Amino acid sequence: MKLGRNDMCWCGSGKKYKTCHLALDDKLEDMKNRGFKIPTHAMIKNAEQIEGIREASKVNTSVLDYITPFVKIGVSTRELDDLIYNYTKSIDAIPACLGYEGYPKSVCISVNDVVCHGIPSDDIILQDGDIVNIDCTTEYKGYFGDSSRMFMLGNVDPAWKKLVEDTKKALDIGVEVCSKPYVTIGDIGYAINKFAQEQGYSVVREIGGHGVGLAIHEEPYVSHIGQPGKDYVLAPGMVFTIEPMINMGGPDVYQDADDGWTIYTEDGSPSAQWEYTLVMTEHGVEILAH
């Protein structure tokens, strides 16, 4: 049913439609008529929700800040997971990965050729020369923040170090694409993939970013390979992650058949990932979790 100007807005803000999302809907309808793929109302958050997600994202960032000095040679990934669990609980937050679709730990810790979803273990001891990704999602007062960081331990191979640094550059390039609203997910993927290929890398195709905030994973899917002007338009109020996974070798990956979670590069080459949670505003994206 089409809303009237004086009806309550569909977003749940309690405001009248004419002063809340009418102008946005008109803008998106015009873009749809011009051939763009527009987001559903469910993908767009109201101001109260965004503020809740902003607070959860600050908490999530604080968890990664907390764990950073503990990421050292000789430490097991299980020790890091325990520290994150205890810290998160101590600040009245919830480690959102724990139990998500059966995932057994509080965070994902991925080392070297593990692309993502590495399960912390007593058997995985961090070594000199390792590159490590810690991917953390935190629930706080019913809202979610999500981000990941890379760590380099000791004498890292210069080519691996460049991979880590270039993957961060790729994330920053994706963020720069979002410097104004109404760009598309395809714009982001195209820019990231172009940069990665220019450096001689490949981008993981099967796994990407996603909507986040009211749940740990929401629509839309954010591919890091795309074509300009394609896929969903990113409208003000959308909250999503950009999290490129970039391989030094080929793009192919496989899932561990035993644990059902860990994703490895097919050719054994190292992989790196960085992730932010972002909200699109009328003036471009704001980084919420990093």
Q: Is 231 annotated as a binding residue?
A: no
Rounded Cα gap, residues 227 and 288, in angstroms = 26
Q: Is 7 annotated as a binding residue?
A: no
Q: By 3-state DSSP, what share of the chain in percent is helix, strand and coil, each rounded to 5?
A: 30, 25, 40
Q: Is 217 annotated as a binding residue?
A: yes
H helices, E strands: number in the chain: 5, 15
Residue partners of 168: CB distance under 8 A and separation at least 6: 150, 274
Rounded Cα gap, residues 145 and 57, in angstroms = 4
What's the DSSP call for residue 102?
Answer: G
The dihedrals phi and psi of 77, each to the nearest 5 degrees, come to: -70, -25
What's the DSSP call for residue 206?
Answer: S
DSSP H or E run through 85: helix 77-90
Q: Is 135 annotated as a binding residue?
A: yes
Q: Is 210 annotated as a binding residue?
A: yes
Annotated binding-site residues for substrate read: 117, 217
Annotated binding-site residues read: 117, 135, 146, 210, 217, 243, 275
Annotated binding-site residues for a divalent metal cation read: 135, 146, 210, 243, 275
